Structure 1
Amino acid sequence: MVMLLGLLLTGSLYAAFSPANADNEAKSDEALIQEGRDLFLVGCSFCHGQNGEGVSSQNGQYGPSLIGVGPASVDFFMGTGRMPLQIPGQQGPPKHPVYTQDEIEAIAAYVGSLGPGPAIPDESEYTLNLTGDERQEAIVKGGQLFLANCSACHNFDASGGAMPWGKVAPTLKNTSDKHIYEAMLVGPAQMDVFSNGNIAPEDKAAIIAYLNSIEDNPGYGGFSLGGLGPVSEGMFAWLVGIGGLVGFAYWIAAHTTRSQKKEEEA
């Protein structure tokens, strides 16, 4: 009898509370999506269309379709301040976000409802939970992956660089780990998409750990010239190094004995 009463009580409580909780969660998701749609119509629909289908004109495309880009794309572009653009058509530079994080999550929920796409990653996905030698080995592997897949655009020092057609690969320094992970997932601008099938999540976390490690390293080589590589170093060598030698040679020639005699004769 005691067991029977316990089962009846447990079943009654489950029937009373569980459906209500499920309904509340569904309503909460629907409310979040509706809030995101309201924000989207005000701040995003001019370029991306009222239903995220994109907007094209005779002069080109104002904004691409957002169907299937996923919440991670919204969180990256809006969390880094790249969206909304001040002028449609230009590459979005990182700046202070216009929207709050709650508003970004609402818009991301709405865009995610338009079609399946990469979700906003959890902190455990982009954090390297290793210590000691294992962590150092993962950082070394992350450096090798970065040099093989990322340094051609972002520079060996992650300082960024120029790209074709007036585009720029931004610096990765002072960029949050989450946004670096999201950039690999969604491939913003001219960047390739590195899905989990191309680069495993643990390897993405290793790349991020490597980027954090080079930020902490001191510059043993002196003035780094921004870490931009051979272009800036070559320009410095020509303008300052060779230019200084030419100026010094001119100064020597102007102060020789022959030049002083010519001045005295004149």
Structure 2
Amino acid sequence: MTESPSTKTRPHGKLRRRMAGILALGVALLAVGGAYAAFAPEPQTANAQPDAALIAKGQELYNNTCITCHGSNLQGVTNRGPSLIGVGDAAVYFQVSSGRMPMARQEAQAERKNPLPEFDPAKPEGQANLEALGAYIQANGGGPQTPAVTGAALRGDDPGRGGQLFRLNCASCHNFTGVGGALSSGKYAPALAPASEEQIYTAMLSGPQNMPRFSDQQLTPQEKQDIIAYVKSVSDGGNNVGGYAAGGIGPTSEGILVFIVGMAGLIGFAMWLGAKS
């Protein structure tokens, strides 16, 4: 018994109808998406525009104090100063407010000194000039920005956790209590006691010299603030749990002193016995 021609073509007809339906659905979805993209209102976004007057003032300050070493376009000058592209106003605040910049001469370590009077953060005018210079560098080079809060507001609520984070990330260079230490090639990790909360925070963001940068993915803002709380608790002298602090050289300071004095006494006694013999 043979099949009729209509019976043979029926499966192919069903397949065609299914494919046509899928194609029509796809065209309809594309049309709806295109119409939405064309006619939907754009979301309202608040984009903070840089202050043109502040940037202009920053450019004037830059041309007066920085352009010789860092170039007219922040590109840096060979054997004078590095590029400032990407350092952000965080690096500007740390380096200039701590007097490390401008440097008197090229050397292994930029030493902390009194800042230029026009950039002294203790004075309102100096703080305003720091903000202007940082705004100019930020607008033209980008990079990490200074925190929104200042002073004691940058101290976290958990100095205990800050101590743990400090020992994991900072103590290998700055010592357990932030008194600093020697590094290679004439460099050193400076003592943290003279640094303000803003300087410690911006140093973690910008990574000056041998110091690594700690982004907000590596150390969250709250963790940075807890570290600051710990550093200030030990540098202010309020975190000695008992005994002789020995200048804050670390948690085993008394043991080290006893060992040194004891060994010196034993050696002296042995030499005295030898002399008597």
Fold-level similarity (TM above 0.5) = yes
Contact 2:160 2:230 in 1 (8 A): yes
Q: 2:69 aligns with which of 47, 55, 66?
A: 47
Q: Number of aligned pairs? A: 220
SS at match of 1:217: coil
> What is the TM-score normalised by the length of structure 2?
0.69
CA change 1:129–1:77 in 2 (3 A) is closer
Distance, in Å, in 2 between the alignment partners of 1:105 and 1:183 is 16
- Offset of 1:44 from its aligned partner? 1.1
Say if 2:174 is the partner of 1:154: yes
Contact 1:73 1:186 in 2 (8 A): yes
What residue in structure 1 maps to residue 227 of structure 2?
207
Render the CA deviation track for 1:111-163: whole Å, top value 9, x for unaligned.
Answer: 11212211221227983687xxxx4xx22221111111111111111111111
CA change 1:156–1:129 in 2 (3 A) is closer
Contact 2:70 2:76 in 1 (8 A): yes
| Unaligned residue ranges in structure 1 (runs of 5+) | 1-24, 260-266
Distance, in Å, in 2 between the alignment partners of 1:129 and 1:67 is 29
Query: Greater helix share, 1 or 2?
Result: 1
Q: What's the C-alpha RMSD, in Å, of the aligned pairs?
A: 3.1
Distance, in Å, in 2 between the alignment partners of 1:49 and 1:236 is 55
Distance, in Å, in 2 between the alignment partners of 1:182 and 1:169 is 16
The one-letter amino acid of 1:71's match is D
Say if 2:96 is the partner of 1:74: no
| Unaligned residue ranges in structure 2 (runs of 5+) | 1-47, 120-125
Distance, in Å, in 2 between the alignment partners of 1:76 and 1:153 is 18
What residue in structure 2 maps to residue 106 of structure 1?
132
SS at match of 1:127: helix
Contact 2:74 2:141 in 1 (8 A): no
- Offset of 1:186 from its aligned partner? 0.6
Contact 2:151 2:196 in 1 (8 A): no
- Offset of 1:190 from its aligned partner? 0.7
Contact 2:163 2:227 in 1 (8 A): yes
Distance, in Å, in 2 between the alignment partners of 1:150 and 1:227 is 14
What residue in structure 1 maps to residue 12 of structure 2?
none
Contact 1:70 1:111 in 2 (8 A): yes
Instruction: Report 1:85-234 matches (<5 A).
Output: 85-98=103-116, 99=119, 100-123=126-149, 127=153, 135=157, 138-215=158-235, 216-218=238-240, 220-227=242-249
Contact 2:144 2:205 in 1 (8 A): yes
Contact 1:126 1:205 in 2 (8 A): no
What residue in structure 1 maps to residue 7 of structure 2?
none
The one-letter amino acid of 2:244's match is G
Bigger Rg over Cα: 2
What residue in structure 2 maps to residue 247 of structure 1?
268
- Offset of 1:225 from its aligned partner? 4.8
> What is the TM-score normalised by the length of structure 1?
0.72
CA change 1:179–1:194 in 2 (3 A) is same
Contact 2:84 2:137 in 1 (8 A): yes
SS at match of 1:74: helix
Contact 2:150 2:198 in 1 (8 A): no
CA change 1:188–1:225 in 2 (3 A) is same
- Offset of 1:97 from its aligned partner? 1.0
- Percent sequence identity over matched residues? 42
- Offset of 1:42 from its aligned partner? 2.1
